[in-house]
Amino acid sequence: PEKGVVTTAGVVYEPLRGLDVTLDYWHIQIDDAITTLLPQTILAQCYQGGSKSFCDQIQRDPVTHGISHLLDTIQNVGGITTSGLDFSAAYQYRNNAGTFRHAVEGTYLFKYNVDTGTVDPNSMQEQIIHGRGFFDLGTNPNLKFNVFTTWAHPTGIGAGFNFRFINSF
């Protein structure tokens, strides 16, 4: 069974009416995690990392020797550790034209690491895959946020727009 620790800390600050700012730090550590690894992780750990346990998951056609499939099953890994900071700032006000709300909400990812549960035979170090800013463990950019504005008129009509930013990975 998975065991883990979740640590969070947050603060909400409202310096003036209608303006609020929030910061939430989070740190999650799951030991003995059960997960699948992405195909690119298996291939990279075999061909770049030289890990026999990952190379054994690559099946080849006996005639052409091309890769026929990957054994990408749910498996026990040493653990998953991730941490980051969620943030937001919003300002809402009302005038004769209606109610307006302007906001930014986002996440800054400090780390997303998977301990594969294997040891590198050359260095005898645990093999940790760092997923922040790379595509090996999915889409984990270090920064992503939304900026949006909404407007609501007392008659019930409204409008808004949203801009989404996702940093490169």
Q: What is the dihedral of CA 130, 133, 139, 140, to 10 degrees?
A: 80
pLDDT in tens, the chain (169 residues): 556 788 888 899 999 999 999 999 999 998 888 877 778 778 877 887 777 778 888 999 999 989 998 887 777 778 889 999 999 999 999 999 999 999 999 999 999 998 877 666 667 777 788 888 776 677 789 999 999 999 999 999 999 999 999 997 6
DSSP 8-state class, residue 155: T
Q: Global pTM? A: 0.73
Q: Which residues of 96-110 are buried (b: 16+ CB within 10 A; e: fewer)?
A: eeeebbebbebbbbe
Residue 34: closest CA among 70, 76, 80: 76
